[in-house]
Amino acid sequence: MDRDRNIALLIDADNASPDHLDEVLLVLGELGGINVRRAYGNWSKPALKGWGQLTTQHSIQPIQQFDVVKGKSATDMRMVIDAMDMLHRDQIDGLGIMSSDSDFLPLAQRIREAGIPVYGFGTAKTPVSFQNSCTRFFDVAALAGAEQGEPTDPEHEARPVEEELLKALGSAWKQSKRDQEGFASLSEVGQRAKAVLSFSVRNYGARSLSELVRSMPEFQVKEADGGGLLVRRVR
């Protein structure tokens, strides 16, 4: 963890549950200092009552946004404006977006174009388009299950590894430098895979990339002589 990295967390309180805030803060805290913490919504709504105590407990600034037109969310627009302000002022080294709303796809794309990583936090039902627009996307229910050691709700069990992820890892392994036995650095393979596909190992019930790859029969993992881990595809 690099505490010098300035991470901003913007929360769409209208579209995110406070039940998973602890897991979100834990993940972002491993990536840098979460110095900007803001939650947006119409705080006069009873539905946002659950966020009230948490904003004080976790030093989150509540940003009031009234519903200007029924059925239209001004909250999203305010979050986008604030994120772009921070981008143009060179204030952030990473942006966390806690929402399952696909309307933030253009924002995630624009922030990534500037070379700043975007970390999305939402439910498993979050549109894939938004998930893939993030540098990494985390299923908040899977995060909660990983912290407790196992899923607590059968509806939110760790997802099986999709064919798309298997292809990304396989392609990354082929592109990586390999020894005579076909082993490549697991770190390099992971970096190459994440460059083309946004995924989080926690979404698959794993705590690390090595744990995820070890669970996949298509790959073999072993320790390198000089430290670190090596991986090769076996089928």
Same domain flag for 109 and 146: yes
Give dist(CA 54, CA 216) in Å, integer. 38
pLDDT tens readout for residues 87-127: 999 889 999 999 998 899 999 999 999 999 999 999 888 99
Same domain flag for 23 and 73: yes
Q: Is 1 among the domain residues? A: no
CATH code: domain of residue 212: 3.30.420.610
Same domain flag for 13 and 109: yes
Same domain flag for 18 and 130: yes
pTM to 2 decimals? 0.66
Same domain flag for 53 and 152: yes
Q: Is 80 among the domain residues? A: yes
Give dist(CA 102, CA 15) in Å, integer. 11
Q: Is 82 among the domain residues? A: yes
Same domain flag for 142 and 196: no
Domain count, the chain: 2
Same domain flag for 131 and 169: no
Same domain flag for 70 and 97: yes
Side-chain-side CA neighbours of residue 169 (13 Å): 28
Which three-class secondary structure state does DSSP give residue 32? Answer: coil
pLDDT tens readout for residues 17-32: 888 888 888 888 888 8
